[in-house]
Amino acid sequence: MHFEERFMRRAAVVTASAGLGGIVLGGVWVWVMRAETPAAVRRLVRRRTTALVQPPVWERDGHFRVGDAVHTPPDRHPLTVTWVQGRSVGLLTNPRNNSRMHTAASDLRHLSGCAPCMADAADQAAAEEQRQAAYWAQWPADDHELYEALMDDQVLISSEPHRRYRFGDASPVREWMRTELDGHLLDDEMPSLTLGRVWDPVDWPRIEDDHGADGLTIENPWRTPAWAAIRAAFEILRDAGYTPALDASVEMERLADKTVGANVVVSGLQVEGLIDDATYQQVAALLGEATDWPQSHMYYPMRPDGPGLDRSQPYKVDEFTATGWRWT
Ligand SMILES: [Zn+2]
C-alpha cells in the first residue's frame, strides 16, 4: 500500500471515532503530510493518535503508591515503591542491603491485585517468549541436535551455591576446553547454543594466547567497549595483583573437523571490593567510569525520598561487593 493511502485511511479511522476534534486534526495531518517527510509524519500521526486514546492505568496519576509491589516486565524481580514524583517512581530493589533505583512509571506494573497491569505484564512475557523462540530458531536443526547431545552429556559436579558442570566424555569438544573450563561452567539462561556461563576468575587473555588458534574466539557482540580494550583492562587489573573475573558465556562453535570449539561472549568485568585509585584510573580510561550506572556495579546512594543520586555520599559497592563494569 502506498504511504499516502495508508496514512489517509488511518486519519479517516481516527476521524470517525473522534468526531469534530478528529476532523480538525485530520486537516492538520493532511497539511503536515505535504510539508514534511514521511518519517516525521508517521511520528506525528502516532503522537496525535495516542493523544486521543485514554492512557493506560499505569500512566495515570496516583496509580502507583508508596508500598506497592511492582516489577519491570518482562523481568519478574519484585520491587517496592518508596516514593512517587510526577512520572518518576522510586523503588527499593533489595531490602537486605537497602539498594534503590528509580524509573519511569510507564516501565512499571503491579505484581498483584491490579488486572490491567497483570494482563499487560502477561502480554510482555508472552512477547519475550516469542522473541526468545525466534532467536533460538536462527540455528539450523543440525546445530540444535549437536547442542542437545552436548548438554545431555554434561556432568553435574556440584550444586552449591550454583550448579557446576564439566563436559561429558562423549562430547567432541576441543581438549583445552576440558582442561580450562571443566568445573567453571554454570547454567546459562540465554536462548542460544550456550554451553555454560563462567563467573569464576578464569584468565581469559592467557587462554586466548594459548588456544586462540584452536577453535576459540572471544568477543563483545555489543561492540562497545571492544574486546581488545576489555582484555587490556583485565590485564591491568591482573598485573596490579587483583583477581578480575569476566562474565562470559561459552557458546558452541561447530568446527570444520566436526569437533566443537567455543565462541566466548563477554558481558561484564569485575573485581572483588574496591581497587586503588591509580589502577582504577587506568581501567576507567579503557572502559569508562565504574560509577556510570547502569553499566557499573558501583553506585552513589539514591536519595531515600526523591529522585536523583546523593552525590554528597561516597559511592558504594553493590550487593556483590565488587567494582565492576557491564556493557549489555
Ligand atoms: Zn496497576
The CATH number for 77's domain is: 2.30.30.140
Q: Are residues 167 and 297 in the same domain?
A: yes
Asked whether residue 167 falls in the same domain as residue 313, the answer is yes
CB atoms within 10 A of CB 75: 13
Residues 190 and 242 in one domain: yes
177 and 264 fall within a common domain: yes
309 C-beta neighbours (distance < 10 Å), count: 16
| Cα 202 to middle of ligand 1, angstroms | 44
- Which residue range(s) make up the domain with 246? 141-326
**Distance of CA 100 from the midpoint of ligand 1 (Å):** 20
Show which of 92, 117, 136 is a domain's final residue: 136
- Region 218-224: mean pLDDT is 91
Same domain, 16 and 124: no
131 CA to centre of ligand 1 in angstroms = 25
Domain match, 65 and 150 both: no
Look at residues 76, 105, 136 and tell me which one is the last residue of a structural domain. 136
d(CA 71, CA 302): 18
CA 76 to ligand 1 centroid distance, Å:
14
Same domain membership, residue 245 and residue 319: yes
Residues 6+ positions from 197 with CB-CB distance below 8 Å? 185, 186, 187, 188, 247, 248, 249, 250
Could you tell me the distance, in angstroms and rounded to a whole number, from the CA of residue 117 to the centre of ligand 1? 4
Cβ-contact 262, 215 below 8 angstroms: yes
Q: How much is the average pLDDT of 228-242?
A: 97
Distance (Å) from CA 50 to ligand 1 centroid: 20
Kindly state whether residues 74 and 40 are assigned to the same domain: no
Domain count, the chain: 3
pTM: 0.68
> For residue 319, how far is its CA from the centre of ligand 1 (angstroms)?
29
> What's the chain's average pLDDT?
80
CA of 57 from ligand 1 middle (Å) equals 7
Find the distance separating the first CA and the last CA of the chain, reported in whole Å.
38
What's the CA-to-centroid distance between 64 and ligand 1, angstroms?
Answer: 7
Can you tell me the distance from the alpha carbon of 174 to that of 148, in angstroms, rounded to the nearest whole number? 17
Sorted by sequence, the CB contacts under 8 Å of residue 313 that are 6+ apart come out as: 300, 301
Spacing, Cα 59 to ligand 1 middle (Å): 9
Please tell me whether residues 259 and 152 are part of one structural domain.
yes
Whole-angstrom CA distances from 54 to 58, 59, 153 are 11, 10, 54
Residues, beta carbon < 5 Å, ion ligand 1: 110, 114, 117
Boundary of a domain, candidates 136, 157, 172: 136
Bigger pLDDT: 215 vs 93: 215
| Same domain (yes/no): 81, 200 | no
**C-alpha 85 to ligand 1 mean position (Å):** 17
Query: Within this chain, do residues 104 and 223 fall inside the same structural domain, yes or no?
Result: no
Predicted confidence band at 311 (pLDDT cuts at 50, 70, 90)? low
Cell of 278: 591509580
* Residue % of the chain over a pLDDT of 70: 74
pLDDT at position 25 is 30
Q: Would you say residue 29 has pLDDT above 80?
A: no
| Ligand 1 centroid distance, CA of 129 (Å) | 22
Ligand 1: distance of its center to the CA of 110 in Å?
4
pLDDT at 124 over 50: yes
Q: Determine the distance separating the centroid of ligand 1 and the alpha carbon of 71, expressed in angstroms.
A: 10
What is the mean pLDDT of the segment spanning 194-206?
95
**Helix/strand/coil (H/E/C) assignment for every residue in the chain:** CCHHHHHHHHHHHHHHHHHHHHHHHHHHHHHHHHHCCHHHHHHHHHHHHHHCCCCCHHHCCCCCCCCCEEECCCCCCCEEEEEEECCEEEEEEECCCCEEEEEEHHHCEECCCCHHHHHHHHHHHHHHHHHHHHHHCCCCHHHHHHHHHHHHHCEEEECCCCCEEECCCCCCECHHHHHHHCCCEECCCCCCCEEEEECCCCCHHHHHHHHCCCCEEEECCCCCCCHHHHHHHHHHHHHCCCCCEEEEEEEEEECCCCCEEEEEEEEEEEEEECCCHHHHHHHHHHHCCCCCCCCECCECCECCCCCCECCCCCCECCCCCEEEEECC
Residue 288's pLDDT band (boundaries 50, 70, 90)?
Answer: confident
Greatest mean pLDDT among 20-24, 121-125, 132-136 lies in 121-125
**What is the 75 CA–ligand 1 centroid distance (Å)?**
16
Q: How many whole angstroms from 143 Cα to the centroid of ligand 1?
A: 43
Report how far ligand 1's centroid is from the alpha carbon of 56 (Å).
9
- The pLDDT tens digits of the residues spanning 157-177 come to 999 888 999 999 999 999 999
Position 6 pLDDT exceeds 50: no
Residues 163 and 35 in one domain: no
- Cα(251)–Cα(259) distance, rounded to whole angstroms? 14
